[in-house]
Amino acid sequence: MNYLFVVAHPDDEVLGAGATIHKHAKEGHKVDVCIMNVKAEARAKRPADDILNSEMEMSNSVLGVHRIYQGPFPNMKMNTVPHLEMVQFIEQAILSSQPDVIITHHPADTNNDHLHTSMACQAALRLFQRRTDVKSVSEFWFMETSSSTDWSVNSAMNRFQPNTFIEVSLEGVEAKITALSAYRGVMRPYPHPRSEEAIKGLAAYRGSQSGLNYAEAFECVFRRHV
């Protein structure tokens, strides 16, 4: 199976699905990550470009990511970018990665870049319908990004409602924490959602919801098997 995770910023891939990426990679599946804004210009305590790039490579290496597609879109300004440009960038990643499953942000996320990444990814998902030479996508999932999806303060939008639970091991949760720690300044002290305690707690909670010890939760919104 080929998996493509489409996220707004470096670290979103870990927050939303780090343990799942680690699990799939260990099982021999190909996991690619498309990051729309790799420079994270607006990030607090952001390091120099070469250091941030090194952190990104190190983090994804911990998880076993096969390839990173690096996007040029502006941090916290994706609402200023023509929608078509973002869609076409994701389409190119889809053409190269040939994914069976695509995972991206939930559109009710309070982070503006997450919203626009999700909307562009939803449009790019239909590429196989427009072109007969493109491999069909089997499933499309939304993920939860700790400290953003959990706020979901806009009651006019449907909140994240998980219906797909991926069992992960404690080793996978710890790999997620190690990968997230590679990005300086991202981890915070408890009770912040990006603390070690909260990340382990969420994995245990999602596990308990689905009769598992540890899990990551997703919302599958498209499924096509022939």
User: What residue ranges do the domains of the chain occupy?
Assistant: 2-223
Instruction: Specify the pLDDT at position 165.
Output: 98
Residue 82 pairs in a beta bridge with: none
Three-class DSSP category at 1: coil
Whether the pLDDT of residue 125 is over 80: the answer is yes
Tens-place pLDDT, residues 72-107: 999 999 999 999 999 999 999 999 999 999 999 999
Instruction: Specify the pLDDT at position 37.
Output: 95
Confidence class for position 51, pLDDT limits 50, 70, 90: confident
Whether the pLDDT of residue 39 is over 90: the answer is no
Mean pLDDT of 214-226: 95
Q: How many CB atoms lie within 10 A of CB 225?
A: 7
Confidence class for position 44, pLDDT limits 50, 70, 90: low
Confidence class for position 42, pLDDT limits 50, 70, 90: low
Task: Kindly write down the DSSP assignment for every residue of 44-85, as one continuous string.
Answer: TT---HHHHHHHHHHHHHHHT-SEEEE-BPPTT-GGGS-HHH
Tens-place pLDDT, residues 157-191: 899 999 999 999 999 999 999 999 999 889 999 99
Confidence class for position 43, pLDDT limits 50, 70, 90: low
Q: How far apart are CA 206 and CA 212, in angstroms?
A: 8
Q: End-to-end alpha-carbon separation of the chain, Å?
A: 15
Nearest by Cα to 116 from 78, 155, 150, 71: 78
Q: How far apart are CA 109 and CA 115, in angstroms?
A: 6
Structure tokens belonging to residue 140 = 């499309």
Nearest by Cα to 35 from 1, 63, 60: 60
Domain 2-223 has CATH 3.40.50.10320: yes
